[in-house]
């Protein structure tokens, strides 16, 4: 079984050789849809604090 890094490297090499724009667009959509929907977002501490401050502002009518 291939390691994740080896697989990633091989995919990058193969994608780099693709000349078909439609295929590249389809791959982009596939990867984008995976990134957007299948993984939870990991927020930094600062991002979490900003969200909490925003929620407080909304609750207090600011």
Say what the pLDDT of residue 49 is: 92
**In the prediction, which pLDDT does 45 show?**
93
Identify the pLDDT of residue 43.
82
Provide φ and ψ at 17, rounded to 5°. -90, -10
Question: How many Å apart are CA 11 and CA 24, to the nearest integer?
Answer: 12
pLDDT for the residue numbered 12: 94
Please tell me the distance from the alpha carbon of residue 60 to that of residue 26, in angstroms, as a whole number. Answer: 45
Per-residue CA distances from 55 to 1, 41, 42, 46, 51 (Å): 47, 18, 18, 14, 6
- Successive 10-residue mean pLDDT values, the chain, 62 residues: 84 94 92 68 87 90 84
Domain boundaries, the chain: 4-59
């Amino acid at each position: 079984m291939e390691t994740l890094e080896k697989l990633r490297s091989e995919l990058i090499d193969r994608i780099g050789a693709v000349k078909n724009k439609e295929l590249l667009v389809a791959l982009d959509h596939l990867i984008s849809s995976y990134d957007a929907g299948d993984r939870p977002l990991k927020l930094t501490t600062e991002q979490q604090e900003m969200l909490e401050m925003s929620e407080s502002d909304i609750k207090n009518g600011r």
